[in-house]
Chains A and B, each alone.
Chain A
Amino acid sequence: MHLIPCPYCGERPQDEFHYRGDATVTRPAPDAGEQAFYDYVYTRANPRGWHDEWWHHYAGCRQWLKVRRNTLTHAVAASVGPADALPEATP
């Protein structure tokens, strides 16, 4: 059982969550051009290691969370509410 710490509910099983994608992408400026928007929508890195991700705690507090997860080990270093920032770096 993979446990994900929710900043509101505490540690919860992964099946209470939906993975909602990369939390590092930011919307380009309206005039940034077609390629920038193509990358924003479709182009994703596939990191081996720490990755900041959106997880939706759909069966708990219904909040969208930012979770820093290690894609290699599934370790979770931090999780915060949708409007909060994850810590700068994870060793």
Chain B
Amino acid sequence: MSAPDRRSRFPASQPRQGGRSGDAPLTIVERPATLVQVNARKGRQAELVAAIAKTLALALPDAGRTATAADMAALWLQPGSWLIEAPAGRRGELPGTLAQTLNGIAAVVDQSHGRCVIEISGAEARAVLARLCRLDLHERAFAAGDSAATLVGHVSCLIHRTGGEAPCFRLVVGSTFAEWLLHELTAAAASYGWRFTPAGEAAA
């Protein structure tokens, strides 16, 4: 057995699968990421938007939306506050860079260790989420690029729909809730079957 991946919220986990063996199992993949929360200081929101546009080429989105540019994304959290998602390799550098750039304009909090990103996909991804989440996640109500902070399996999550035709959702959840959420997801997906891949095992 290889050494535990310290980036993973499931350090003891190996890829595994379960539930009924069907044609459309739910694919659950842990996606390690750099996550930085930025909160505009009072009256400085316009400067924050301008600074993020300049340094990251990201247009901070309106409520309920995400913005993407290259390998980064910005997710709306609450008035004046966003979560920046970047590749895991930037954990050592991005939070400090942003803190420096946004000094006086925004509070910058590195959430890379505090949050876990779980991606779920598959033809029945929506049906599985419907068992855990009260929001209408149908394409007409929750399209690619939409995001919402809500409850999934009684756990506070930031859920967003990534681009592409096939249903694919990312759940940003508190790290200490990740095991619980995984359990809820696999239980809800039992009738379709599921496959889980922790970080480190997943293709980058």
B78 engages A8 (CB within 8 Å):
yes
State which of B107-115, B116-124, B147-155, B176-184 sits at the interface with chain A: B147-155
Complex CA distance for A58 and B154, rounded to whole angstroms: 12
Complex CA distance for A16 and B152, rounded to whole angstroms: 11
Say if the beta carbon of A9 comes within 8 Å of chain B: yes
State which of A19-27, A32-40, A60-68, A71-79 sits at the interface with chain B: A60-68
A61 engages B151 (CB within 8 Å):
no
Say if the beta carbon of B74 comes within 8 Å of chain A: no
Say if the beta carbon of B175 comes within 8 Å of chain A: no
On chain B, the residues within 8 Å of A15 by CB distance are: 134, 151
Closest CB-CB distance, A88 to chain B, in whole Å? 24
Say if the beta carbon of B89 comes within 8 Å of chain A: no
A1 engages B134 (CB within 8 Å):
yes
Say if the beta carbon of A69 comes within 8 Å of chain B: no
Considering the complex, give the chain B residue whose CB is closest to the CB of A14: B134
B77 engages A13 (CB within 8 Å):
no
Say if the beta carbon of B156 comes within 8 Å of chain A: yes
Considering the complex, give the chain B residue whose CB is closest to the CB of A15: B151
On chain A, the residues within 8 Å of B77 by CB distance are: 61-62
A12 engages B150 (CB within 8 Å):
yes
A81 engages B149 (CB within 8 Å):
no
On chain A, the residues within 8 Å of B149 by CB distance are: 9, 59-62
Complex CA distance for A16 and B64, rounded to whole angstroms: 16
On chain B, the residues within 8 Å of A8 by CB distance are: 63, 78-79
A81 engages B151 (CB within 8 Å):
no
Say if the beta carbon of A10 comes within 8 Å of chain B: yes
Complex CA distance for A39 and B168, rounded to whole angstroms: 53
On chain B, the residues within 8 Å of A10 by CB distance are: 64
Complex CA distance for A10 and B134, rounded to whole angstroms: 13
On chain A, the residues within 8 Å of B78 by CB distance are: 8, 61-63
Considering the complex, give the chain B residue whose CB is closest to the CB of A58: B156
**Which of chain B's residues 129-163 have a Cβ closer than 8 Å to chain A?**
134-135, 148-151, 156
> Hey, which bits of chain B sit against chain A, CB under 8 A?
63-64, 77-79, 134-135, 148-151, 156
**Can you list 9 residue pairs at the A/B interface with Cβ under 8 Å?**
A8-B78, A9-B149, A12-B135, A59-B150, A60-B149, A60-B150, A61-B77, A61-B79, A62-B77
Given contacts A16-B150, A59-B151, A81-B79, 10 further A-B contacts (CB under 8 A): A10-B64, A15-B134, A16-B151, A59-B149, A60-B149, A61-B63, A62-B77, A62-B78, A63-B78, A63-B79
> Hey, which bits of chain A sit against chain B, CB under 8 A?
1, 8-10, 12-13, 15-16, 58-63, 81
